[in-house]
Amino acid sequence: MIEPFLSAVPVLKRLEEAGFEAYFVGGSVRDFLLHKPISDVDIATSATPKEVKRVFPKTVDIGIEHGTVLVLFGQKSYEVTTFRTDGAYEDFRRPKEVSFIRNLTEDLKRRDFTMNAMAMDKTGQLIDPYNGQLAIKEKRIQTVGNPKDRFHEDALRIMRAVRFVSQLSFHIEEHTMRALKELAPLLKNIAVERKKAEFDKLLIGKGWKEAITILLETNLYCYLPGLQNQKKQIEKLLSYNSEKLTKNEMWSLLLFCLQQDPQSTETFLRDWRFSVHDIKEILRILAYVERRLVQEWSLYDLYKAGRATIQSVEKLFLVINGLDEVSRIAQLLDQYDRLPIKDRKDVDVTGSDLMEWFGLNGGPWLKEMLVKIEQAILAGKVRNDKQEIKEWLKPCSQN
Ligand code: ATP
Ligand code: MG
């Protein structure tokens, strides 16, 4: 066995010593078999949350109603979830209630896809009642049981299937695909936050083009915020070859294809429940991309944009123009690093200095003059030194 499972084996052992069953389950087992980096290991157990809390001194209640307790153990934390079946589903969303059970196979049965419905014990032995290993070998995404029933129970699974196409470069099994097409409208009932979590992962996956193509072919895109009626624009996205773009860069590229004004872009991002931080970042990237498409970077633009935005914008500029000149990004960042100032705070002169020197009150002139000073410093016309700036300003004030 390998890390991060190894460190978690004692957690399974403790539960077993207390008389319960415990296994690794879900995405970590799948990724282990795929030789992919393993993020978090999830643990499933026959112990109820109360019993789990009795076994471990340090726990946090993070989802008791779903049977999940966070166990703090040896500097790490593990989500330990009681075997459960999901009760009646309401409106194609998550179940209102879950029932705790003592049987692993039943727990695996409620999981979405066969590749995600395997368990591994502390010795590395696999428990695979739904042939998940074969599905992984054949790169197949297939629901556990009847796909229509499973998508009716929780329509997010439709989105998850497409997300896994992108993330794993797997294909969707025929019946699962047919059900997905037929039941695409059920996605209407799913909370935007849950759709976004899947779409984020879809956008940064290796197979994003295949996944986007499926969204278009199945009309799933019609049930995603701001994307209905945008088929042509989404197809435009498929014409770009982008690798190694970050999540927000991919969203920016998608928004670039939608060609909306900044106000509509902001509404789009709000509808998708983006954080204020991400909205700002994406709007900024898009504004500089538009600028970059009509002109080269000026020193002042580099200064105003800042390192992270320069990098994102230039990456997108190369993608949009189908260029493969990544060295340009390093050159620009180097140029940025050598700028004598990076922020207005770095300027050796303040607004109060200027008001004092010119004997004037604040007003628009102040901002204009500060910009002039910034530009002069950046262009090397004056050193970033209070006295030198004062001297330099003298002839300026006469014209
Ligand atoms: P990732 O690598 O992105 O974390 P994951 O498969 O681990 O992928 P999670 O959302 O972490 O996805 O879910 C953990 C496990 O819980 C899944 O592997 C699956 O067994 C089960 N699961 C998650 N969401 C659903 C769902 N909507 N319906 C049924 N089972 C689900
Ligand atoms: Mg996971």
Cβ of 45 less than 6 Å from ligand 1: no
Q: Are residues 289 and 279 in contact, defined by beta-carbon separation less than 8 angstroms?
A: no
- Residue 38's pLDDT is 93
Q: Does residue 260 sit in the same domain as residue 384?
A: no
Pairing of strands 42-45, 22-25: antiparallel
Q: Whose CA is nearest to atom 26 of ligand 1?
A: 112
State yes or no: cis peptide before 4, omega within 30 of 0: yes
Q: Does residue 328 sit in the same domain as residue 351?
A: no
Which of 132, 149, 181 corresponds to the end of one domain? 132
CATH number at residue 244: 1.20.58.560
Question: Hey, how many other C-beta atoms are within 10 angstroms of the C-beta on 340?
Answer: 15
Q: Answer whether residue 128 shows pLDDT above 60.
A: yes
Q: Answer whether residue 267 shows pLDDT above 60.
A: yes
Question: Hey, how many other C-beta atoms are within 10 angstroms of the C-beta on 259?
Answer: 12
Within the chain, how many helices (H) and strands (E) appear?
Answer: 20, 11
Under DSSP, the state recorded for 81 is E
Q: Looking at residues 192-219, what average pLDDT do you find? A: 97
Q: Does residue 63 sit in the same domain as residue 120?
A: yes
Which of 320, 339, 358 corresponds to the end of one domain? 339
Which of 132, 149, 174 corresponds to the end of one domain? 132
Cβ of 153 less than 6 Å from ligand 1: no
CATH number at residue 197: 1.10.110.30
Q: Whose CA is nearest to atom 6 of ligand 1?
A: 27
- Residue 326's pLDDT is 87
Q: Does residue 29 sit in the same domain as residue 122?
A: yes
Q: Does residue 155 sit in the same domain as residue 45?
A: no
Atom number in ligand 1 closest to CA 160: 27
Question: What's the burial of 303, exposed, middle or buried (CB within 10 Å: 0-12/13-18/19+)?
Answer: buried
- Residue 303's pLDDT is 98
Q: Can you name the residues that pair with 71 across neighbouring β-strands? A: 59, 78
Q: Are residues 47 and 38 in contact, defined by beta-carbon separation less than 8 angstroms?
A: no
Q: Can you name the residues that pair with 89 across neighbouring β-strands? A: 95
For CA atoms 251, 256, 258, 261, the dihedral sign is positive
Number of domains making up the chain = 4
Task: Measure the CA–CA gap between 305 and 313, rounded to whole angstroms.
Answer: 9
Pairing of strands 59-63, 84-86: unpaired
Cβ of 314 less than 6 Å from ligand 1: no
CATH number at residue 393: 1.10.246.80
Print the domain residue range for 275.
228-339
Give the lowest-confidence range in 14-23, 96-105, 136-145.
96-105
The 10s digit of each residue's pLDDT in 81-122 is 999 998 766 666 666 678 899 899 999 999 999 999 999 999
Q: Looking at residues 155-160, what average pLDDT do you find? A: 97
Q: Does residue 335 sit in the same domain as residue 269?
A: yes
Give the Å distance between the CA of 15 and the centre of ligand 2: 21
Q: Does residue 126 sit in the same domain as residue 191?
A: no
Q: Are residues 223 and 191 in contact, defined by beta-carbon separation less than 8 angstroms?
A: no
* Continuous H helices in 103-239: 104-109, 132-137, 147-153, 156-168, 174-183, 192-203, 208-217, 231-238
Cβ of 281 less than 6 Å from ligand 1: no
Give the Å distance between the CA of 275 and the centre of ligand 1: 24
Cβ of 112 less than 6 Å from ligand 1: yes
Which pair of structure tokens corresponds to residue 369?
């003059």
Give the Å distance between the CA of 14 and the centre of ligand 1: 25
Give the Å distance between the CA of 321 and the centre of ligand 1: 37
The C-alpha R_g of the chain, in whole angstroms, comes to: 28
Task: Measure the CA–CA gap between 69 and 192, rounded to whole angstroms.
Answer: 26
The values of phi and psi at residue 205, to 5°, are -80, 155
Per cent of the chain over pLDDT 90 is 91
The values of phi and psi at residue 189, to 5°, are -85, 0
Q: Answer whether residue 135 shows pLDDT above 90.
A: yes
Q: Answer whether residue 36 shows pLDDT above 70.
A: yes
Q: Does residue 14 sit in the same domain as residue 124?
A: yes
Q: Are residues 144 and 119 in contact, defined by beta-carbon separation less than 8 angstroms?
A: no
Rounded to a whole number, what is the largest CA-CA distance in the chain?
Answer: 89
Mutational test site, ligand 1, from 111, 149, 153, 158, max ligand atoms within 8 Å of CB: 111
Q: Which residues contact 284 (CB under 8 A, 6 or more apart)?
A: 305, 309
Task: Measure the CA–CA gap between 6 and 65, rounded to whole angstroms.
Answer: 29
- Residue 84's pLDDT is 94
3-state secondary structure of 335: helix
Amino acid at the residue 9: V
Assign residue 124 a region (left: φ > 0; alpha: ψ between -120 and 50; beta: otherwise).
left
CATH number at residue 1: 3.30.460.10
Q: Does residue 321 sit in the same domain as residue 276?
A: yes
Task: Measure the CA–CA gap between 351 and 20, rounded to whole angstroms.
Answer: 69
**Between 135 and 397, the higher pLDDT residue:** 135
Q: Looking at residues 201-229, what average pLDDT do you find? A: 97
Q: Answer whether residue 185 shows pLDDT above 60.
A: yes
Q: Does residue 128 sit in the same domain as residue 1?
A: yes
- Residue 94's pLDDT is 63
Q: Are residues 281 and 246 in contact, defined by beta-carbon separation less than 8 angstroms?
A: no
The angle subtended at Cα 151 by Cα 147 and Cα 153, nearest 5°, is 120
Atom number in ligand 1 closest to CA 111: 30
Cβ of 114 less than 6 Å from ligand 1: no
Cβ of 228 less than 6 Å from ligand 1: no
Q: Answer whether residue 159 shows pLDDT above 70.
A: yes
Q: Answer whether residue 399 shows pLDDT above 50.
A: no
- Residue 90's pLDDT is 63
- Residue 89's pLDDT is 63
Cβ of 154 less than 6 Å from ligand 1: yes
Question: Hey, how many other C-beta atoms are within 10 angstroms of the C-beta on 381?
Answer: 11
Task: Measure the CA–CA gap between 267 and 308, rounded to whole angstroms.
Answer: 24
Using pLDDT thresholds of 50, 70 and 90, give the confidence band for residue 39: confident
Mean pLDDT for the chain overall:
95
Q: Does residue 118 sit in the same domain as residue 165?
A: no
Atom number in ligand 1 closest to CA 28: 7
What is the DSSP annotation of 212-263?
Answer: HHHHHHTTGGGGSTTTTT-HHHHHHHHT----S--HHHHHHHHHHHHT--HH
What spatial distance separates the first Cα and last Cα of the chain, rounded to whole Å?
76
The 10s digit of each residue's pLDDT in 324-381 is 888 999 999 999 999 999 999 999 999 999 999 999 999 999 999 999 999 999 999 9
Using pLDDT thresholds of 50, 70 and 90, give the confidence band for residue 195: very high
- Residue 233's pLDDT is 97
Q: Whose CA is nearest to atom 11 of ligand 1?
A: 27
Q: Does residue 385 sit in the same domain as residue 307?
A: no
